[in-house]
Amino acid sequence: MQGYLTGLLTGLSLIVAIGAQNAFVLRQGLLRQRVLLVVLICSFSDALLIALGVLGLGNLINSLPVLLEIIRWFGVAFLLWFGFQAFRRVLKAAQLKASDTSTATIKATVLTTLGLTFLNPHVYLDTVIFIGGLAHQFGSNTWLFAIGSITASFLWFFSLGFGATKLAPLMAKPLFWKILDGFIALVMLSVAIALAVVRFN
C-alpha cells in the first residue's frame, strides 16, 4: 500500500490550498447550492487528468507549451470576470443573505465549475505533469499511486463542499457574506495576476 498512501498524501498536499476552485466549492457548500454536482465535477475532473497524466498526456503538453499559454490567458480573463462578480456582491447589500441569493442554473453551475477547473494551467502542472510523472517512479505500483491521488481529490472536495454547512449559523449575518465574497474576489484576482505574470515551463 506504499504507492497508494504516497499518492494520497501527495494529492492532499497539492490540493489543500487556497485557490479559485476551492473558494468556489466553499461558497457553493455554504449556500447549499448544487454541492454534490460541483464536488463530483471537481473530483472526476482531477481523476481524469491524473489518469491522462499516467497515460502520457504530460509528454504532449511539454512538447506543445503553447497549449498552456492559451489556457493561461483564457484563465486570466475568466478569473477576472468571476472576481468582479464577487466584488459586485460585496457592494450590493440586498444580495448578502443566503435566502436572497438566487440559485444558479445547472448549466451555469457546470460551466463555472469546469471553467475554474480547466482554465488554470496549475491544474495541468499538478495533476497531468507532476502526479502523472511521479506515478511512474513507483513501477508496478504506478496506478496505486494514481488511485491514491484520485482518492485525495474526492476526500478533499467532498469534505470542503459538505463540511462548509457547519458554518451555517454564520450565514444569516450580512457581514459574513461581505467578508466571504471579498475573500473570493481577492483570491480570484490574486490567481489571475499570478497566471498573467508567472512563466510556466
Only one residue has cell 475568466, namely 78
For the chain, give the percent of residues with pLDDT over 90.
25
pTM listed for this prediction: 0.75
Q: How much is the pLDDT for 153? A: 94
Say which range, 26-30, 124-128, 170-174, has the weakest mean pLDDT: 170-174
- What range defines the domain where residue 31 resides? 2-197
Other residues' Cβ atoms within 10 Å of the Cβ of residue 83: 22
Q: According to the per-residue pLDDT averaged within each range, which of 72-81, 105-114, 138-147, 180-189 is highest?
A: 105-114
Looking at the 3D structure of the chain, how many domains does it have?
A: 1
Q: How much is the pLDDT for 172? A: 59
Amino acid (one-letter) located at 79: L
Note the pLDDT tens digit of each residue in 104-137. Answer: 789 999 999 999 999 888 788 888 888 888 887 7
Say which range, 3-7, 82-86, 173-177, has the weakest mean pLDDT: 173-177
Rounded average pLDDT over 188-200: 76
181 neighbors 89 (Cβ within 8 angstroms):
yes
Q: How much is the pLDDT for 95? A: 42
Note the pLDDT tens digit of each residue in 29-85. Answer: 888 889 999 999 999 999 999 999 888 877 776 677 777 678 778 878 888 887 888
Q: How much is the pLDDT for 51? A: 93
